[in-house]
Amino acid sequence: MIPNLELTILQGLVNNEQFARKVLPYVKDSYFESSTSRHIFQQVSEYFVKYGGCPTREVLIIECEQLEGVTQEEFGSLSETLPLLWEGTEQNLDYLVSTTEEWCQERAVYLALLESISIHDGKDSDKNRDSIPGILTEALGVSFDSHVGHDYLADYEERYNFYHLKEDRISFGLSYFDKITKGGMVNKSLNVALAGTGVGKSLFMCNIASTILLQGKNVLYITCEMAEEKIAERIDANLLNTNIQDIIDIPKPMFEDKIARLQKKTQGQLIIKEYPTASAHAGHFDALIKELYLKKDFVPDIVFIDYLNICVSQRYRAGSNINSYTVVKSIAEELRGLAVKHKVPVFSATQTTRGGYGNSDVSLTDTSESFGLPATADLMFALISNDELEEMGQIMVKQLKNRYNDTNTHKKFVVGIDRAKMRLYDVEQGAQEDILDTQPTFKYNDTADKFKPKQFEGWQ
């Protein structure tokens, strides 16, 4: 005999077309423990896909009688089970759907654990242990998502409300960055800083992390380059308003007093986690976020990853014959997937090419290793430094890609930089006058038969 729950689900599939339409896209034959249940489900599913409805008793009996490769014992079980499918009492649709979803989730996890054990024991030659987190993640993500798309004409009200929804944004704490992003970073986005070695990628991220912590947000800072303590030292310099080389000389009571005052300024938390270089991928970061929730009740509002190029891909094994374009693009896609899954902004950085290092006009083509990275990022900007800017205590920013806003608005601008205190700050407006690069809007002039810069006047 087949398990009672499996029988109930099969009864729903042959008697309730509404139930069948809701659950068939998500139920897999492998979820059924009994071979009898699997055979019946396969016939019901194939019939529904082909004819758009539930099979009748006669049709299902005929289809099962024509099955090939079925043992005599299985035929006997089928003969006993088929009449039972039409004997069940009618169940509440919501209850039936909910129960089936829970059953699918439980079976998916169970089968994923069995597969993971098989891979761990070396019984699956096609997969290695790195694939286990992905298998378990997929199983844990099983759910009946009833949304199948936006109906343009029917869902107009939902669309209108979306247009007027105020999206939660996390401020950079720097006025021009907030201007070019219309208020800051949004959830489910990948934001990337492009800079050469020593220009200030980690400094930039530590400064933004410090600013967001003071906003009362929870910050997760993942470092694949420097030790946790080194990142914390940079954040200390920023938040304690102390030169980084002087931190070691602060007496312990004074240090404790500064931290105590800092704790009173914010309700947020900052967690710094270190991974060895070229050893961690989005799967590890996903597991870390879940572990932090379980152990510390910590849910990040933003995730910093320092930095993208020294992560590894979850999909491609290290050392495999895959070019850098594919690998880096894959890492970027996986990090953006992490942002979408946990509904947070992810902020990272990447290196410039050798040609882009020291270049005062960096472009997207100066992205190290892969042009696939800017194709994936939502916001990408270059940090540019030279001797003249260093003397003035400034760093130049150039927009490279911006899904928040038009890149021609404040395409270039400068921010102040205090490297000793690991801090960025807004400069006076006068410092921007020769830097700001905002593209004029053009309107076609019929008389002159050419384009002239004019204030946009709307549709004519």
User: pLDDT per residue over 32-60, tens digit each?
Assistant: 999 999 999 999 999 998 998 899 989 99
Q: Which of 47, 80, 104 is the last residue of a domain?
A: 104
Pairing of strands 169-170, 185-186: antiparallel
pLDDT band of residue 323 (cuts 50, 70, 90) is confident
**The domain that contains 26 carries what CATH number?**
1.10.860
pLDDT for position 387: 87
Residue 124, in any domain of the structure: no
Residue 72, in any domain of the structure: yes
Q: Which of 104, 123, 145 is the last residue of a domain?
A: 104
Q: Are 191 and 276 in contact (CB under 8 A)?
A: no
Residue 154, in any domain of the structure: no
Q: Which tokens in the block code for residue 236?
A: 């200390």
pLDDT for position 318: 64
In the predicted model, is pLDDT for residue 10 greater than 60? yes
pLDDT for position 366: 60
Is pLDDT larger for residue 323 or for residue 98?
Answer: 98
What's the pLDDT tens digit per position in 99-156? 999 999 999 999 999 999 998 888 887 788 888 888 888 888 788 876 667 888 888 8
Range in 97-101, 316-320, 454-458 the model is least confident about: 454-458
The per-residue DSSP string of 222-243 comes to: EESSS-HHHHHHHHHHHHTT--
pLDDT for position 247: 92
pLDDT for position 447: 46
Is pLDDT larger for residue 316 or for residue 172?
Answer: 172
DSSP 426: P
Residue 91, in any domain of the structure: yes
Which class for 1: exposed (0-12), middle (13-18), buried (19 or more C-beta within 10 A)? exposed
What's the pLDDT tens digit per position in 143-198? 887 666 788 888 889 888 878 777 789 999 999 999 999 999 999 999 999 988 88
Residues 56 and 183 in one domain: no
Our count of domains for the chain comes to: 2
Compute the radius of gyration of the chain from its Cα atoms: 29
Which helix or strand (DSSP H or E) is residue 163 part of? helix 156-163
pLDDT for position 109: 93
Range in 333-342, 375-384, 448-457 the model is least confident about: 448-457
- For the chain, what is the mean pLDDT? 85
Residues 183 and 100 in one domain: no
Residues 298 and 420 in one domain: yes
Residues 204 and 342 in one domain: yes
What's the pLDDT tens digit per position in 249-292? 999 999 999 999 999 999 999 999 999 998 899 999 999 999 99
Residues 64 and 205 in one domain: no
Residues 220 and 308 in one domain: yes
d(CA 188, CA 202): 22
> CB neighbours of 296 closer than 8 A, spacing ≥ 6?
271
pLDDT band of residue 450 (cuts 50, 70, 90) is very low
Q: Are 374 and 400 in contact (CB under 8 A)?
A: yes
**The domain that contains 366 carries what CATH number?**
3.40.50.300
pTM higher than the cut 0.85: no
Q: Which tokens in the block code for residue 342?
A: 């946990």
pLDDT for position 442: 42
Is pLDDT larger for residue 313 or for residue 449?
Answer: 313
pLDDT band of residue 358 (cuts 50, 70, 90) is low
Q: Which tokens in the block code for residue 194?
A: 């492009």
Residues 83 and 211 in one domain: no
d(CA 269, CA 217): 7
Residues 268 and 356 in one domain: yes
pLDDT for position 436: 55
Residue 122, in any domain of the structure: no
Supply the range of the domain harboring residue 93: 4-104
pLDDT for position 183: 92
pLDDT band of residue 369 (cuts 50, 70, 90) is low
In the predicted model, is pLDDT for residue 214 greater than 90? yes
Backbone angles phi, psi at 453, to 5 degrees: -65, 125
Residue 420, in any domain of the structure: yes
What's the pLDDT tens digit per position in 409-437? 888 899 999 999 999 999 888 777 766 55
In the predicted model, is pLDDT for residue 24 greater than 70? yes
Residues 176 and 48 in one domain: no
The per-residue DSSP string of 175-206 comes to: HHHHHHTTSSEETT-EEEEEE-TTTSHHHHHH
Residue 365, in any domain of the structure: yes
Is pLDDT larger for residue 460 or for residue 175?
Answer: 175
Residues 84 and 225 in one domain: no
What's the pLDDT tens digit per position in 221-233? 999 988 999 999 9
d(CA 430, CA 447): 38
Of 182, 202, 137, which is closest to residue 337 (Cα–Cα)? Answer: 137
Residues 72 and 183 in one domain: no
Residues 179 and 295 in one domain: yes
**Helix, strand, or coil (residue 52):** coil
- Beta bridge partners, 60, equal none
d(CA 190, CA 425): 23
Residue 175, in any domain of the structure: yes
